[in-house]
Structure formats: C-alpha cells, structure tokens
Structure 1
Amino acid sequence: MELTQTNAQGCTRQRSVGPQDPHADPAPLKQACVGPYLLALPQNYFDNQIGTEHDGSFALALEYPSLQPFKPGARRTVNKDIFAQTLSINYSYVDRIDVRQSLRNAYTPMAFEQDDPAASLALRLQGEDVHGLAPYYADMERIRGYRRARGLADDAPGMQDRSHRDWYVARDRNGDIQTIIKCTSRGVTESGVRFSEGRMIRSGERELPECDHFFILPEYRIRARVTYVRAALKDWHRIEQRAGELLVGSIGKK
C-alpha cells in the first residue's frame, strides 16, 4: 500500500497503514486533505475516530453541546444517545463554480422546481426572527396541494411534515444570504432529546428532528455542511464559528 495519497488539487497526505487503535489516548494526529489544503487533527475528531477513509474522504464529529471531540473510542459503538449528541461536519472544496454560487444553489430552485413550494424561498412562509435567523417555513398546505395536483395521495410519504424542511437564513450587511439552515418542519413538535446531568440524550419520543447547516469560507473556496439535532439550532452561530475555526486552525500543521 502506498504510504501517501495525493488528491486532484495536489494535496498529499500521509496514509495510516496497519491496524489503527481508536482508543489511543492521547489521540495521534492524522492528516486529511480538503482541496489543496492539508489538515492535521487528532484522530478522535474524525467520525470513525481513526482518520480518513481509504479514498481520503472524511467527516468530523463533535459532541453537542460541548462542541468538543468525543473521547477516544467513544464512537466505535454509536448508541442512540451518541447519535443524538453528534454534530457531523463535512467540508467541500469548490473549484468548478464560484463558491458563493455553491451556497446559492442550496436555496435556488432548479428550472423544473420553479413552482414547487418546497424548493423556493419565495413560496415559503416568512416568520419573525428565531435565534437571529430569518425563518422561511414550509407552507404545508401549499405543498400538499402542489403534490395532490401531481397525483400524490394524502398518505404518501411526501405529504407528511417530517418529509419537509423549514429554512432559516442569516444575511450579511449587503443582504446576501451567508448561512442557510434546513431543519425538520416545525409541524414535528417533538424534540426527540432531553438533558440529563448536563448531557443531551434521547428522549422517549419517536421523532428526532434534524438540521443541515450550510455556510462558506470564501477565502478558502470551501463550503461546509454541519448536521445536528434541531434542538441545537439555538447555538447555530457558535456551531458555525467552531466548524470554521476547526478547519482553518488545522491547515498547514505537519
């Protein structure tokens, strides 16, 4: 097996060869590439707690609400509580289109979606600010009508609240969207979690509403996607700062 791997942007990382111990403490540094940028992080920051996958792909995992990595080996068996606590971070290097356009694509309908009320900001219900975000709620009455007109039965999966997302946006001083967060519809009222001794754990509720949080680091041409439970939405700004600083602070370490 090759001891190094080089990606399409010329970033070369050291590969981990042989058996890996996710329980190693202190956790050894492992390398990863995001576009041309070489990162080095303790292996317990990685979702699998041993480093990148064989092809170089990876996700990071932090514990909510601390936003710290899980203890070495803690994620080798992911139970329902750890699943709920996990804040998953993915970084994508954008080199084929403008990085700002990559963010616009997250809220701009495709040509065939122009009249789909689930795909457009303009066809959503705008509400009062929530946690410093402007909400654009899924208009479920309009969505159901749109789908009925296309032959969907009322009991079809795409007709339920759980199948749709409310959108929350933050804008810069020019009014341009700089963050968009898509969360399970507010029609799903359960949080799916509760707190016990300062830790977030699964409740007995069936649903576990989630959010996908998108933002960009323009100077690096990187788009980030962070996934977490909807109960953590109130900390979106802290989460965004942590995900950005984690990337930037890890670049260039050998």
Structure 2
Amino acid sequence: MSEDTSQSRTVDGYTYTTAPVIAQLGPHRYAFPANFYDDQIGPSVGGGIALSFIWPGLQAAAPGDRPTRSMEDHYRTVTASIDYLDAVPASELLPRLSNTEATTEAGSVNRNDPRRRLDLRKAGTERFGLIPYAIDEERMAQFGNEYQKQFGEPVTRNPRKEDEWYIARAANGMLATFIKCDQPEGGNEGLAIQGDRLVPDESVKVSSCTHYFVDSNDNLGVTLFYPRVLLKDWKAMEEATRAALAKYKVR
C-alpha cells in the first residue's frame, strides 16, 4: 500500500488521495490512508470504521478505485467492519455471538435451538485450520418436538439456508475466530479461483462468509465480509487487519 500523499485521482469531481484521515474507536485514534477506508474517504458517521482489503494481496486499493470497480473487483474486496466494544469485554463477544442467551428469554424453547448454539453443534474434521461445527440432527429433532409442544406448529426450517459454522480457538481454549458461511448451491460457491482472479461458476448465488474476531488489547470487535471461496485465506485476512490496526494507530 502506497503512503505517498501526493498520489491522487479525481473521479466525478471528487479527488481521492492516500492522505491519512483520523478515525476514533473509543479511546483509540488511528490515521489510516484515505484509500484504505471502504468509501476511500474516511470513517463512518456515528462511530465504527470500515476498511477494504483487495484479495489476493490484501492491500488497500489505489485511490479513486472504488467508484469504477468491476464486479470481479467487488468480489475480491474483503471488508472489515471495526467497532469499539464499550458494552462488553472483547473476550465475551464471540461466546455471545455463538449462543442464544443474549437473544432469547430464560426458559424459552428457542434457547435450545441447535442451529444457533455452538455447544449443541457437532465438531467435524479440521479444514484450513478451522473446525467446522454442523447442526446435530438428533438434537434438532428433539428441539422440533419441544417447539411443537409449546407453539402447536412445526419448526420452520430450510436446511439450504442454514449457515455453516467454523471455529478456531486460542491456546487457552477460548474462542478466537467464529465464521458463518452460506452453504454452496449444488456444490458450487458462485465463484471459482483462477490464479489471482475470481470467476463465476454455475451457481446462481455467490456464497459468502461473515467472520468475527476481536482485538483484546484495545477491546475491538472486527467483522469481515468476503465470498466463501476465499475462506481458505481467513487467517491471512485476520493478520492483515491486525497489522493495519497496529501500523496506523496513533501513539
């Protein structure tokens, strides 16, 4: 990524540059180059920031690139949404996202929905350094019976719309990464990797992933968005985000 502030490009009357723009996340300040922000201008109004990394190099796009990106470039863009966690410690975010306690009432049958609880899913074989957790169909059947008893109707379910879950843990066993992905349609992800390119396959829909991790030192929550075909590079995406936060933090 170039940090030469003389670099600029004018598109539709607006001049995009690589000049640093200050962003505030809680008590922390950052000076990211303008072209690193998702809109290539600056931080979002009302808090939080969004950065864009272009796959495969996971660097910022050239200034003025965003308004003229092709659909392929759009798919190659990994977006990082970063927020300061002022309500909970960073260590609590991933456990909250992977269970139902924060979104259901105590005693509710919905609290036992195996689709929404990591501890009720079944661990599978490691892939890309991640452990997949599938829905436990035996527990799902039990939940369905309890749901019908309470509400008098069957659970609404569309298995093709049920997210795949992937987990990575820290050395101490705590959740370090939580990723939810769309299921491929007919085995196709919507895109295929050909060298440094992403090209459409036979699927109608492009399967995507939502990827959560935290920066415990600064109490930040990070959410990445990218096509499922790029899941293999999840760790590189985390490392690129952490490197940018460290590099551009104002000391």
Shorter-chain TM band: 0.7 to 0.9
How far 1:183 moved relative to its partner? 1.2
**Aligned equivalent of 1:10:** none
Letter in 2 for 1:189: G
C-alpha distance in structure 1 between counterparts of 2:143 and 2:187, whole Å: 23
Q: What is aligned with 2:158?
A: 159
The aligned length equals 230
Normalised by the length of structure 2, the TM-score is 0.79
Q: Which shows bigger deviation, 180-189 or 86-95?
A: 180-189
**Residue 180 of structure 2 contacts residue 210 of structure 2 at CA under 8 Å; is this kept in 1?**
yes
Residue matched to 2:30: 39
CA distance in 2, matches of 1:233, 1:129: 13
2:93 to 82, 102, 105: 102
Show structure 2 runs of 5+ residues with no match.
1-10
RMSD: 2.8
Match of 1:13 in 2: none
| Residue equivalent to 2:229 | 231
Of 118-127 and 213-222, deviating more is 118-127
Which residue in 1 is equivalent to 2:5?
none
1:118 lines up with 2:115 in the alignment:
yes
1:16 corresponds in structure 2 to: none
SS at match of 2:44: coil
Shift of 1:53: 3.2
The 2-side partners of 1:240 and 1:115 are apart by 31
The structure with more helix, counted as a fraction of residues:
2
- Once residues 205 and 248 of structure 2 are traced to their aligned partners in structure 1, the CA distance between those partners, rounded to angstroms, is 35
Partner residue in 1 for 2:180: 182
Report the alpha carbon displacement of residue 192 of structure 1 after superposing the two structures with TM.
Answer: 1.1
Instruction: Provide the rounded CA distance (Å) in 1 between the counterparts of 2:95 and 2:203.
Output: 35
| Structure 2 equivalent of residue 248 of structure 1 | 246
Structure 1 residue 186, shift from structure 2 partner: 5.6
Residue pair 1:29, 1:42 contacting (<8 A) in 2 also: yes
Unpaired runs of 5+ residues, structure 1, are: 1-18
Matches within 5 A, 1:43-192: 43-77=34-68, 79-110=70-101, 111=106, 112=108, 113-139=110-136, 149=148, 151=153, 158-161=157-160, 163-185=161-183, 189-192=187-190
Secondary structure at the aligned position of 2:119 is classed as coil
Letter matched to residue 188 of structure 2? E
What is the rounded CA distance, in whole Å, between the counterparts of 2:26 and 2:82 in structure 1? Answer: 9
Are residues 188 and 226 of structure 1, via their aligned partners in 2, closer, same or farther at CA, if it must alter by over 3 Å?
Answer: farther
Q: CA deviation at 1:67?
A: 0.6
Distance of 1:22 and 1:69 partners within structure 2: 19
What secondary structure sits across from 2:67 in the alignment? Answer: coil
Residue 211 (structure 1) aligns with: 209
